[in-house]
A and B are shown apart, each in its own frame.
Chain A
Amino acid sequence: MIPLPFLIPLPFALVMLCALVAPARAARRLGYLGSLAGAATLLLVFLSYAGGTGTQAATWTWFGAAGEQFPLTITLDALSLVLSGIVSLIGVAVFLYSVGYFGDEERPSDLSRYYAILSLFAASMLGVVLSGSLLQLFVCWELVGISSYLLIGFWHGKDEAMRAARKALLTILVGDAFLLAGIMLLRARYGTFDIARVLALARPDTLTLLAAIGIVVGAISKSAQFPLHAWLPDAMAGPTPVSAFLHSATMVKAGLFLVARMLPLLLLVGLSPWLAALALVTIALSACMALVETDIKRALAYSTMNQLGFVLLALSAGAVAAGTYHMLTHSMFKALLFFAAGIAIHATGTQDMARMRLALGANALAIVAGIGALALAGMVPLSGFFSKETILDALVRQGNWTIVACFMLAVLLSAAYIARWYLLVFARGGRDARAPWQMMAPAVGLALLSLAGGLAMGKVFGLFGEAAPPVLTPWTLLSLALVLAGFLCTYLSCVRGWAAWLPGTALASAARARFLLDDLSAGVARAALGVARACAWIDGNVVDRAVRGVAVRMGALARGARRMQTGRVATYAFAIVAGFIALVLLLGALR
């Protein structure tokens, strides 16, 4: 009897199989199938939750090696529930959106491939969040990384997309190496891969610290935090549904999920201030870069980095519930914003915001995009407001006023950049954007969820066994004021033209150059390539030479030896005589 939680990845796995065998005619309909699978998964998630709250670990032997059994473990707790809920919910939306996104120019075989990989991604992401064992988690983690690579490079004719895919993969693989090292260190130290047991046994010593660092590096690479963030903006070269699903709502959350999952361990070894520092640097850099970016999707990518920094900040303060709740609201409004961006790109045929002029006003696109923007900024009564408040509350309770002040500044900046984004895309008197219902409906759905998302706060916190923080406090009002201030700044700067000297400052130039971090990682990659070339040179010239040298010596030896065969009778006779003499002498010596 297979326990129910194990079936959760099943619907998407089935869609993947269907996509692999589907005939060409049915390729387009796979999107609807995927949506249904998402809905089914969501149902399964709820049923599993109803089947028992708290942590459940169901076990099933996966394989045995070296006399030890490795079971398949599922952990079902608040964290995994919320995240699997996110994956299935956004999955429903994205599959439907994809139907409308891909026009007739796509070949059916390509579409089948797309849906297959997308389903693979969804199933493996569910595997990551549901895993109870680090080994299992790592396998699914890798699958997620590979699907991301395949999806970014979906249009493999596009050079830019291929390069971005490679960059993403390599960055993530660097993180994965650290993660694997961390997992193995934990295994060496505590003798188990099981997450619950590791957390229970954890002690603050050197090996554990090193393992924790490995885990953090792995998480950073997946979640595009500083310094392994350079791949995320480039990953926008993939199709927009991919950007919406992987690179805003789910895959990038995987890293933070890992941090949340292993948080007791990380806090135990004292990494909290480091996580906070990383988060703050990420927030600062990404906000600056978002403020100067002109590409519609890249701006959203920087904003994703930013918001994930918020989550990381919350986690560093130990507020898992707040961080998870923000992950939930962020995935909804970020996916919504990407959907809107996809519609905008289809309507205007360009990704450069400076050239877009879509209609502002009562048309559907402007409204849903506006809702998403307000949610991101954290305006009441949208979901983003509530989740931001929970983070703020956690930070205030932690008591580090520097961090609180930085967070406040970040709130202002995020409001500012998203307002800028909205104003650049939509302008008065612009043209209408028509979109097929398959693209509009998910966007509207997510907009509604963003409006109602605040209601879920109590429920989510309840899952974690905590009480939701109060909503109306002086801090709340202060942050609202900052949001409005951010809007005002943008309005004054973009519409009224004040502070026109701002784009010319050194900071702005640095931001436009992406703080040279891209170049840094490229330099690192080149250095690694140089090392590889050196090794290849050694192999070819030293090792191969040695081997060939042996062969040459053998040849020379053989040539020398065959001079014995002169063909002359006298030589052979001489050999016989000489041998005989030697034998006689030997016998004499022995006597």
Chain B
Amino acid sequence: MIDALLLVSSALCLGGAAYALGARHLMRGVLGLAAFFIGAAGLFAGMGAWFLAAGQLFLFVGGVVALFVLAFSSAPTPVQREGTLAAACAAGALTLALLAFLPVSLPQGAPLPPAALAQALFGEYGLALEIALLLLFAGIVGAQYLLAEGRA
């Protein structure tokens, strides 16, 4: 028995992803990406990770997609052409390969309170968080440098 939320979210994910890559116009593709993120949020929620679901919506739909739209409007891209067959085969092969490993059923667990997540994130994995933030900072500085005016 499949949950309705799960169904809709899965459909959004798959459809969005396919449209993101397949759409002829990049703007439409970006919209597809947004749909994917919404679907992913739904899936997170269905699995009991509410915080993640919310985060996904705020950060990705609100942040990353907006960034893409901004980029696109600064420099229009031409209509894209298709890539190679090999790439498609690689993707298919990977799917099949990975399918061989993964268990198909696991019991469901209880949802996690955000307090516990915060405790884990800032307690035990504080160092990882800091490094990730440092990485973000480096990325921003790098992007700024690349795009500064007057660079050759």
Residues of A in contact with B (beta carbons under 8 Å apart): 570, 574, 577-578, 580-581, 584-585, 588
Smallest beta-carbon distance B27→chain A, Å:
23
A577 and B90 contacting across the interface, CB-CB below 8 Å: yes
Contact present for A585 and B90 (CB under 8 Å): no
Mark contacts of B92-129 with chain A using CB atoms, 8 A cut-off: 1 yes-contact digit, 0 otherwise: 01100110110000000000000000000000000000
B97 touches A570 (CB 8 A): no
Q: Is the interface of A mostly helix, strand, loop or mixed?
A: helix
**Also in contact, A588 and B101, with CB within 8 A (given A570-B83, A570-B84):** yes
Would B98 and A570 count as touching, CB distance under 8 A?
A: no
Contact indicator B97/A585 (Cβ below 8 Å): yes
Distance, CA A585 to CA B100, complexed state (A): 10
Contact A581 B90 (CB under 8 A): yes
- Verify B94–A588 contact, CB threshold 8 A: no
Q: Which chain B positions have C-beta within 8 A of A584?
A: 94, 97-98, 101
A101 to B106, CA, bound (A): 119
| Binary CB contact string for chain B from 39 to 56 against chain A (1 if under 8 A, 0 otherwise) | 000000000000000000
Q: How far is the CA of A581 from the CA of B100 in the complex (A)?
A: 12
Q: Is the CB of A588 within 8 A of B90?
A: no
Q: Report Cα–Cα, A567/B34, bound state, in Å.
A: 32
Given contacts A570-B87, A580-B94, 13 further A-B contacts (CB under 8 A): A570-B83, A574-B90, A577-B94, A578-B90, A581-B90, A581-B93, A584-B94, A584-B97, A584-B98, A584-B101, A585-B97, A588-B97, A588-B101
Q: How far is the CB of A589 from chain B (nearest CB, A)?
A: 11
Q: How far apart sit A581 and B98, CA to CA, in the bound complex (Å)?
A: 9
What chain A residues lie within 8 Å of B93 (beta carbons)?
A: 581
Which chain A residue lies CB-closest to B93?
Answer: A581
**Given the complex of chains A and B, what is the CA–CA distance between A328 and B71 in angstroms?**
116
Query: Which A residues are CB-close (under 8 A) to B100?
Result: 588
Tell me how far the C-beta of A97 lies from the nearest C-beta in chain B, rounded to whole angstroms: 95
A466 to chain B, nearest CB (A): 104
> What B residues does A570 contact at CB under 8 A?
83-84, 87
| Chain B residues in the interface with A (C-beta under 8 A) | 83-84, 86-87, 90, 93-94, 97-98, 100-101
Q: Please indicate the chain A residues that have their CB under 8 angstroms from the CB of B84 in the complex.
A: 570
Show 22 residue pairs from A and B whose CB-CB distance is below 8 angstroms, ordered by the A residue: A570-B83, A570-B84, A570-B87, A574-B86, A574-B87, A574-B90, A577-B90, A577-B94, A578-B90, A580-B94, A581-B90, A581-B93, A581-B94, A581-B97, A584-B94, A584-B97, A584-B98, A584-B101, A585-B97, A588-B97, A588-B100, A588-B101
A residues in contact with B97, CB < 8 Å: 581, 584-585, 588
Chain B residues, CB < 8 A from A581? 90, 93-94, 97
CA distance A584 to B84 in the complex (A): 23
Q: Count contacts between A and B, CB distance < 8 Å.
A: 22
- Chain B residues whose C-beta falls within 8 Å of the C-beta of A578 in the assembled complex: 90
The CA-CA distance from A392 to B83 in the complex, in Å, is 110
A572 vs chain B, min Cβ distance (A): 12
Return chain A residues, CB-CB under 8 Å to B87.
570, 574
A264 to B147, CA, bound (A): 105
Interchain CA distance A134-B94 in the complex, whole Å: 82
Give every chain B residue within 8 A of A580 (Cβ-Cβ).
94
Rounded to whole angstroms, the CA-CA distance of A570 and B82 in the bound complex is 12
- Specify which chain B residues have a CB less than 8 angstroms from the CB of A577 in the assembled complex: 90, 94
The interface residues of chain A lying within 8 Å CB-to-CB of B90 are 574, 577-578, 581
User: In the bound complex, how far is the Cα of B90 from the Cα of A584, in angstroms?
Assistant: 13
Q: What is the chain B residue whose CB lies nearest that of A591?
A: B101
Q: Shortest distance in angstroms between A32's beta carbon and chain B's nearest beta carbon?
A: 92
CA distance A581 to B86 in the complex (A): 14
What is the CB-to-nearest-CB distance from A581 to chain B, in angstroms, rounded to a whole number? Answer: 6
> Chain B residue with minimal CB distance to A580?
B94
- A240, B79: Cα distance in complex, Å: 104
CB distance from A433 to the nearest CB of B (A): 103
Q: How far apart are the CA atoms of A574 and B98 in the complex, in Å?
A: 17
Q: Distance (Å) between the CB of A591 and the closest chain B CB?
A: 9
CA distance A574 to B100 in the complex (A): 22
The answer for the CA separation of A591 and B55 in the assembled complex, in Å, is 37
Chain B residues with CB under 8 Å of A574's CB are 86-87, 90
Q: Considering the complex of A and B, which 7 residue pairs feature the smallest CB-CB distances, nearest first? A: A577-B90, A584-B97, A581-B94, A581-B97, A581-B93, A585-B97, A588-B100
CA distance in complex: A585, B98 (Å): 9
Contacts of B94 in A (CB 8 A): 577, 580-581, 584
Give A275 to B119 CA distance when docked, in angstroms. Answer: 114
Nearest Cβ distance between residue A392 and chain B, in whole angstroms? 105
Instruction: Compute how far the CA of A585 lies from the CA of B93 in the bound complex, rounded to whole angstroms.
Output: 11
Tell me the nearest residue of chain A to B101, going by C-beta. A588
Q: Give the docked Cα–Cα distance between A479 and B106 (Å).
A: 130
CB distance from A400 to the nearest CB of B (A): 98
CB nearest neighbor in B for A587: B101
In angstroms, how far is the closest chain A Cβ from the Cβ of B9? 27
Nearest B residue to A585 via CB reads B97
Could you tell me the distance between the alpha carbons of A573 and B98 in the complex, rounded to whole angstroms? 19
Q: Which residues of A contact B83 (CB under 8 A)?
A: 570
Q: How far is the CA of A584 from the CA of B93 in the complex (A)?
A: 11
The residue in chain A whose Cβ has the minimal distance to the Cβ of B83 is A570
Closest-CB distance, A570 to chain B (whole angstroms): 7
B147 to chain A, nearest CB (A): 20
Q: Nearest Cβ distance between residue A564 and chain B, in whole angstroms?
A: 14
A440, B24: Cα distance in complex, Å = 120
> Which partner residue on chain A sits nearest B98 by CB separation?
A584
Closest chain-B Cβ to A578's Cβ sits at a distance in Å of 6
Closest to B86 in A: A574
A502 to chain B, nearest CB (A): 102
Instruction: Tell me the minimal C-beta distance from B99 to chain A in angstroms.
Output: 11
